[in-house]
Amino acid sequence: MTVQRDDVIAWIQAFTAAITENKGYLTQLDSDIGDGDHGTNMDRGFQAVSAKVPELADKDIGAILKTVGMTLVSTVGGASGPLYGTFFLQAGSATTGKLELSLADWVAALQAGVDGVIMRGKASPGDKTMIDALTPALQTLKESASKGSGFAVALRASADACEQGMLATIPLVARKGRASYLGERSAGHQDPGATSSHLLLRAAAQVWANQEG
């Protein structure tokens, strides 16, 4: 199984739909410990991305992901724009010129994206950020690939690990971003960035893994 560029576009569209569907939920999570704009900002950014989809049909996967990243940086406010923009820009750099992705290619793209977020946000696991969801997702993807798992199996395992990482943010005390201003009061709340990260990888698993049934 490989992921074609049309599949990458379908993933972006599925994530856009998930953001729109969960806009209120993400905003509520962010209202508890942040500025209360994560859902609104993400939806604005991905609606702008959606408007560019017709221009992407003949582009390589790297160019598609870079376009997503540049659009987010230019349209999304708060921390979400720079962090998600960096994720897609770096993933795009790792897939430049590719018209399809193998599991190894996706591992490299996700690694580049996560590294970019860490570099941009200066966050570490345990800081109660999207890194707490993305790091276990990446590690599980690598482990699945090293065991010879199929692409679909690896995608599902990665999305499940991302969900567990998201849930694990609930008891944490935030050490980065606006939530860190609350100190101990940030504990008991799920991180909104980790939640949208789970939606991102869940969409990949749902769209791409369906190719293997």
In tens, the pLDDT along 12-66 reads: 999 999 999 999 999 999 888 778 889 999 999 999 999 999 999 899 999 999 9
Tell me what percent of the chain is helix, strand and coil, each rounded to the nearest 5.
Answer: 75, 0, 25
d(CA 32, CA 164): 20
Q: How many domains does the chain have?
A: 1
**173: DSSP letter:** P
- Domain range holding 182? 3-212
d(CA 184, CA 202): 30
- Cβ-proximal residues to 122 (8 Å cutoff; 6+ apart), any chain: 176
- Please tell me the predicted confidence (pLDDT) of residue 172: 81
Does 79 or 179 have the greater pLDDT score?
79
In tens, the pLDDT along 84-135 reads: 999 999 999 999 999 999 999 999 999 999 999 999 988 888 888 999 999 9
CATH code, domain carrying 207: 1.25.40.340
Give yes or no for a contact between 78 and 41, defined as CB atoms under 8 angstroms apart. yes
d(CA 189, CA 176): 14
At residue 213 the predicted structure's pLDDT band, cuts being 50, 70 and 90, is very low
In tens, the pLDDT along 148-187 reads: 999 999 999 999 999 999 999 998 877 666 666 556 766 8
- Please tell me the predicted confidence (pLDDT) of residue 175: 65
